[in-house]
């Protein structure tokens, strides 16, 4: 995990300080209210640290409404008193800062902390859930820490927050209400469908939805408990237990009562006895961040024992026994300055957002995904909008939504193209993903470049510039035409001599012998890729069987559902002339080692079906390979490793889940190894894996 220096906004004088305080207070009120803050989390943290630094240097200038030392940055929301103050957390941004903080806790309590609790810092809205006799009677937001807002009308819409506990106890549960990615998308669909503006991000969606008393739509949220404490009416034995249990024990108690905790996620809370072990766990959770279906912005470290917590005490805004280790921001606010409409190799027309450059998750981002025209309309985006942009790990950045209340009136509608932006022909708007009516013919060069790539036909000597020459000279219109090229046509191209011509023609001839999965992948069928092409080729065995298959037959292939099956069938029908040309050219149309399947309607169709390769060493297994391969697998590309997996009967996958059978973990395996360990997935080295599939190398 990359170390992050403590970010700070420099404040030079008293006037700048006063302006900064006002900006922070306004942003806090929006953040903890139902609106989206004018500042993203990273910018707010920088500003508050800058304010604190100025106040340290100039204590005589400190303003009474300064956000430092206050819960929720001084935003006052609600008037329901808390039984015990609901405090914020202080932050650290590096290992050095964490070690310094932990040493300070030890000095305060006069001993080393025996056990630390470590869990993700959920990016949601803190609430108090009060139960009487096991029944949920009131929900209260954190507010300013002393009092919050009654949001009891939200009962029944929060997953993980039972309306009745497993035991009839009187207790207060505290936790975070948030939206998962799926819940966020569903909430935006419901809100925009009701005529409202899209939510800016999952956190503001949860906050706004929980506070809204009257709405024309329903949303779902999720609760994760992080505290349990006695309240008026709690019987003394339980109250004593709640006061004496360590934090980890409180979470077990909350889960036993029926509340959701992070124990059910890929990043469960754990304990550690040293700061070094805490930092190792911080790195593990950070590595899994991109794979989570809910947002986290850091990791919370707490003294686990109740005695350590009591001796460390509290400040005015935060417990001195807990800290948040903040992670680099994966969400920022920036400005949408343009939209490009690009045509892909299959003719699909896709918009791309051009942004004012912003740093996200350690990289500078200028472009982001916009999906399609319908998505732009649904989110209500305008040119010039301030927008939230999200990125995590290796995921392509995406525009979430506009920050509507920052609009100035100068924003303009995003104009969708009337005709194909590449060739000027008509656009097929019958589906959400628009497509040029010419399909692949609109961008023949891109289709040919894709087909001859390393993971498809792998034709050496066909660089992009050479393909441009062939298309511009009228020698090819698709990649099947490559197999009809002759010596005189090729040597007539600029900078082609006898040797280079002979080599290119030999490489093209060799490509005819590629297996069916490579040929099918070269076709560029929409909603398929390298892995799916291998599954399809292995399932059907021949191109004839693929062409004869209907949507129902395609659904027998692992990973193909009804919608994808229909698209694949339509695509294969559209590609019929190209496939015919490939057959005529003598290109291989069979998959070595695959069971032969008769084409639908053939005389052999009623015969006993071909046997599946159940005796292969990886039959029925889902395998993920990650990290640098070594030993017998050294030098293999990830796609070549995936091909090896599928030759041995397994299914190659790119992500670790509960369905993963085996992880092949090379050097620097990273987050996938951490996730596999948490899920109990078997992990082997490249050498161990090679021994299992030696016959298929």
Would you list the DSSP string of 501-567? Answer: HHHHHHHHHHHTTS-HHHHHHHHT-TT--HHHHHHHHHHH-BHHHHHH--HHHHTTSTT--HHHHHH
CB-hemisphere CA count at 13 Å for 587? 27
Q: Residue 288: pLDDT above 80?
A: yes
Give the number of other Cβ atoms within 10 Å of residue 39's Cβ.
21
Q: Residue 329: pLDDT above 90?
A: no
Q: What is the pLDDT of residue 127?
A: 95
Q: What is the pLDDT of residue 565?
A: 93
What would the mean pLDDT of 247-273 be, rounded to a whole number? 95
How far is residue 19's CA from residue 37's CA, in Å, rounded to a whole number? 16
Q: What is the pLDDT of residue 144?
A: 83
Q: Residue 508: pLDDT above 60?
A: yes
Helix ranges (DSSP H) in 403-529: 444-451, 464-472, 487-491, 498-511, 516-523
Q: Quote the distance between the C-alpha of residue 161 and its chain's center.
A: 25
Helix ranges (DSSP H) in 178-305: 181-193, 202-211, 236-244, 247-257, 275-288
Torsion of CA 461, 464, 467, 473, to 10 degrees: -120
Residues above pLDDT 70, as percent of the chain: 92
Q: Which fold has domain 332-392+400-428?
A: OB fold (Dihydrolipoamide Acetyltransferase, E2P) (2.40.50)
Higher pLDDT, 15 or 408: 408
**Banded pLDDT at 611 (limits 50, 70, 90):** very low
**Banded pLDDT at 2 (limits 50, 70, 90):** very low
CB-hemisphere CA count at 13 Å for 478? 18
Of 10-19, 210-219, 234-243, 439-448, highest mean pLDDT: 234-243
Q: Which residues are catalytic?
A: 121
Q: Residue 35: pLDDT above 60?
A: no
Q: Quote the distance between the C-alpha of residue 586 and its chain's center.
A: 43
- Of 236-240, 284-288, 534-538, 652-656, the range with the lowest mean pLDDT is 652-656
What would the mean pLDDT of 524-530 be, rounded to a whole number? 89
Q: What is the pLDDT of residue 31?
A: 62
Residues above pLDDT 90, as percent of the chain: 53
The domain 622-696 is classified under which CATH number: 1.10.357.10, 1.10.1330.10, 3.40.50.970, 3.40.50.10190? 3.40.50.10190
How far is residue 34's CA from residue 213's CA, in Å, rounded to a whole number? 12
**Banded pLDDT at 577 (limits 50, 70, 90):** very high
Q: What is the pLDDT of residue 596?
A: 59
CB-hemisphere CA count at 13 Å for 421? 14
What CATH number does the domain located at 439-511 have? Answer: 1.10.150.20
Which of 373, 131, 95, 341 has the alpha carbon at shortest distance from 257? Answer: 131
Q: What is the pLDDT of residue 360?
A: 82
What would the mean pLDDT of 391-397 be, rounded to a whole number? 72
Q: What is the mean pLDDT of the chain?
A: 87
Q: Residue 319: pLDDT above 90?
A: yes
Higher pLDDT, 319 or 371: 319
Residues sharing a CB contact under 8 Å with residue 512, sequence separation 6 or more, in sequence order: 483, 585, 586, 587, 588
The tens digit of pLDDT for each residue in 535-565 reads 899 899 999 999 999 999 999 998 898 989 9
How far is residue 393's CA from residue 120's CA, in Å, rounded to a whole number? 16
Q: What is the pLDDT of residue 653?
A: 84
Task: Tell me the three-class secondary structure of 99-111, residue by residue.
Answer: HHHHHHHHHHHCC
435: DSSP letter: E
The domain 86-326 is classified under which CATH number: 3.40.50.300, 3.30.470.30, 3.40.640.10, 3.40.50.720? 3.30.470.30
The CATH class of 14-74 is mainly alpha
The tens digit of pLDDT for each residue in 617-655 reads 898 899 999 988 999 999 888 888 988 898 888 888 878
Q: Residue 40: pLDDT above 80?
A: no
**Domain definitions of the chain by residue range:** 14-74, 86-326, 332-392+400-428, 439-511, 622-696
- Of 98-102, 228-232, 437-441, the range with the lowest mean pLDDT is 437-441
- Of 68-77, 359-368, 484-493, 509-518, the range with the lowest mean pLDDT is 68-77
Longest dimension (CA), the chain: 96
Contact between 564 and 614 under an 8 Å Cβ cutoff? The reply is: no
Q: Which residue has the tokens 């992670």?
A: 327
**Banded pLDDT at 152 (limits 50, 70, 90):** very high
Q: What is the pLDDT of residue 393?
A: 61
How far is residue 603's CA from residue 639's CA, in Å, rounded to a whole number? 37
The tens digit of pLDDT for each residue in 593-608 reads 776 565 555 545 444 4
**Banded pLDDT at 668 (limits 50, 70, 90):** confident
How far is residue 536's CA from residue 599's CA, in Å, rounded to a whole number? 14
The tens digit of pLDDT for each residue in 341-371 reads 999 888 999 999 999 998 887 778 999 989 8
Q: What is the pLDDT of residue 595?
A: 65
Q: What is the pLDDT of residue 612?
A: 47
How far is residue 416's CA from residue 436's CA, in Å, rounded to a whole number? 13
What would the mean pLDDT of 51-79 be, rounded to a whole number? 73
């Amino acid at each position: 995990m990359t170390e992050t220096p403590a970010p700070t906004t420099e404040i030079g004088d008293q006037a700048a300080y006063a302006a900064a305080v006002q900006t922070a207070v306004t942003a806090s009120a929006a953040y903890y209210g139902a609106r989206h803050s004018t500042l993203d989390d990273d910018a707010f943290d920088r500003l508050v640290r800058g304010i604190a630094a100025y106040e340290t240097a100039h204590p005589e200038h400190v303003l009474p409404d300064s956000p430092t030392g206050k819960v929720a940055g001084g935003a006052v929301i609600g008037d329901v008193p808390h039984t015990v103050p609901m405090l914020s957390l202080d932050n650290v941004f590096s290992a050095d800062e964490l070690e310094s903080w932990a040493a300070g806790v030890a000095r305060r309590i006069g001993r080393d902390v025996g056990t630390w609790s470590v869990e993700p810092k959920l990016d949601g809205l803190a609430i108090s859930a009060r139960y009487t006799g096991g029944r949920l009677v009131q929900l209260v937001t954190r507010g300013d820490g002393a009092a919050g807002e009654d949001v009891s009308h939200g009962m029944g819409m929060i997953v993980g927050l039972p309306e009745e506990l497993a035991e009839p106890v009187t207790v207060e549960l505290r936790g975070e209400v948030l939206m998962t990615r799926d819940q966020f998308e569903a909430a935006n669909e419901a809100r925009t469908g009701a005529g409202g503006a899209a939510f800016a991000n999952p956190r503001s969606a949860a906050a706004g939805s929980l506070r809204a008393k009257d709405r024309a739509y329903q949303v779902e949220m999720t609760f994760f408990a992080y505290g349990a404490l006695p309240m008026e009416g709690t019987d003394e034995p339980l109250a004593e237990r709640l006061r004496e249990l360590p934090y980890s024990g409180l979470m077990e108690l909350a889960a036993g009562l029926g509340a959701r905790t992070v124990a059910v996620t890929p990043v469960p809370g754990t304990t550690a006895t040293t700061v070094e072990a805490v930092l190792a766990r911080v790195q593990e959770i950070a590595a899994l961040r991109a794979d989570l279906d809910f947002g986290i912005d850091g990791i919370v470290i707490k003294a686990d024992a109740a005695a350590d917590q009591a001796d460390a005490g509290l400040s005015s805004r935060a417990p001195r026994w807990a800290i948040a280790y903040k992670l680099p921001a994966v969400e920022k606010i920036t400005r949408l300055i343009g939209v490009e409409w690009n045509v892909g190799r299959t003719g699909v027309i896709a918009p791309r957002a051009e942004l004012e450059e912003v740093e996200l998750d350690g990289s500078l981002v200028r472009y982001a995904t916009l999906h399609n025209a319908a998505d732009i309309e649904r989110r209500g985006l305008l040119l010039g909008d301030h927008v939230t942009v999200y990125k995590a790990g290796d995921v392509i950045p995406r525009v979430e939504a506009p920050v509507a209340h920052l609009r100035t009136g100068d924003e303009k509608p995003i104009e969708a193209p009337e005709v194909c932006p590449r060739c000027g022909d008509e656009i097929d708007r019958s589906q959400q993903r628009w497509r040029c009516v010419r399909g692949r013919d609109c961008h023949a060069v891109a289709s040919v470049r894709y087909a001859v790539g390393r993971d498809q036909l792998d034709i050496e000597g066909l660089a992009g510039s050479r393909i441009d020459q062939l298309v511009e000279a009228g020698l090819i219109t698709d990649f099947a035409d490559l197999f009809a090229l002759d010596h005189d046509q090729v040597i007539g191209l600029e900078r082609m001599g006898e040797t280079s011509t002979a080599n290119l023609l030999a490489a093209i001839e060799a490509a005819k012998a590629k297996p069916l999965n490579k040929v099918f992948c070269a076709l560029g069928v929409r909603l398929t890729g390298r892995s799916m092409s291998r599954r399809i080729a292995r399932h059907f065995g021949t191109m004839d069987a693929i062409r004869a298959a209907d949507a129902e037959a395609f659904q027998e292939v692992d990973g193909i559902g009804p919608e994808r099956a229909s698209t694949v069938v339509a695509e294969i029908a559209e590609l019929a002339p190209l496939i015919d040309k490939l057959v005529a050219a003598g290109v291989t149309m069979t998959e070595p080692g695959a069971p032969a399947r008769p084409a639908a309607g053939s005389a052999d169709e009623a015969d006993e079906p071909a046997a599946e390769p159940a005796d292969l060493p990886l039959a029925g297994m889902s395998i993920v390979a990650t990290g640098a391969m070594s030993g017998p697998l050294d030098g293999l590309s990830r796609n070549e490793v995936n091909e090896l997996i599928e030759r041995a009967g397994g299914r190659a996958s790119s992500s670790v889940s509960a369905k993963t059978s085996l992880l092949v973990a090379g050097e620097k395996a990273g987050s996938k190894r951490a996730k596999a360990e948490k899920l109990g997935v078997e992990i082997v080295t490249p050498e161990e894996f090679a021994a299992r599939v030696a016959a298929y190398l």
